[in-house]
């Protein structure tokens, strides 16, 4: 991304379902493929990244998908959700940051920062007092990113990747 390029963050529409599916699958593979068994990766992707699943998520009023673009090219996305919280998450009205991913060519170009900034804005605008998320304990890059934003560890939860039960840390940011 050049210095002149700007990141545009917008609410995703139903017409973005295929883009979200492709981007989600690609960024998930890039993020976790090297550290997990191929069969577990395939099982997870099949159960989370299919166009009809993204359509259902886009239609769900509890969800808010954000799509990041650079010069019209999809560069990343985030999925926010109103709903149940994990144990240990503080606050009266927490919002979950269910997914936030940046496509490999845009890593280190402030796309992630733009997405996180917008996630925080959306959560505040919707009256939430905490933004929380789960992050794989072995994902050092993401953990460093979240720490820079002020997220603190408040618990842990299980994450099933195919047949592999993994440990995620639960992080929260008071808004």
Confidence of residue 3 (pLDDT cuts 50, 70, 90): very low
* pLDDT tens profile 45-71: 999 999 999 999 999 999 999 999 999
- The answer as to whether 2 is a domain residue is no
| 104 CB burial (10 A radius; 0-12, 13-18, 19+) | exposed
Q: Tell me, what CATH number does 153's domain have? A: 3.40.630.30
- The answer as to whether 164 is a domain residue is yes
The distance between the two most distant Cα atoms of the chain, rounded to a whole number of Å, is: 44
Supply φ then ψ for residue 72, to 5 degrees. Answer: 80, 0
Threshold 0.85, pTM exceeds: yes
In which element (H, E) is residue 29 found? helix 17-32
- The answer as to whether 90 is a domain residue is yes
- The answer as to whether 161 is a domain residue is yes
- The answer as to whether 151 is a domain residue is yes
Specify the residue for token string 């606050």.
91
Count of the separate structural domains present in the chain: 1
Domain that holds residue 29: 7-174
Could you tell me whether strands 63-70 and 73-82 are parallel, antiparallel, or unpaired per DSSP bridges?
Answer: antiparallel
Evaluated on CA atoms 138, 96, 100, 159, the torsion sign reads: positive
* pLDDT tens profile 70-116: 999 999 999 999 988 999 999 999 999 999 999 999 999 999 999 99
- The answer as to whether 43 is a domain residue is yes
Specify the residue for token string 């395939």.
42
- The answer as to whether 1 is a domain residue is no
């Amino acid at each position: 991304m050049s210095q002149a390029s700007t990141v545009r963050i917008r609410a995703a529409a139903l017409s973005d379902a295929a883009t979200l599916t492709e981007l989600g699958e690609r960024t998930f593979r890039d993020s976790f493929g090297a550290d997990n068994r191929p069969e577990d990766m395939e099982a997870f992707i099949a159960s989370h990244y299919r166009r009809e699943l993204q359509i259902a998520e886009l239609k769900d009023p509890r969800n808010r998908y954000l799509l990041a673009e650079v010069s019209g090219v999809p560069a990343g996305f985030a999925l926010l959700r109103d709903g149940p919280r994990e144990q240990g998450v503080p606050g009266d009205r927490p919002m979950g940051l269910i997914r936030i991913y940046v496509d490999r060519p845009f890593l280190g170009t402030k796309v992630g920062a733009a997405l996180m900034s917008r996630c925080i804005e959306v959560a505040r605008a919707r009256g939430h007092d905490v933004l929380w998320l789960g992050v794989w304990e072995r994902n050092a890059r993401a953990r460093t990113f979240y720490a820079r934003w002020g997220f603190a560890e408040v618990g842990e939860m299980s994450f099933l990747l195919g047949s592999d039960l993994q440990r995620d840390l639960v992080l929260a940011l008071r808004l």
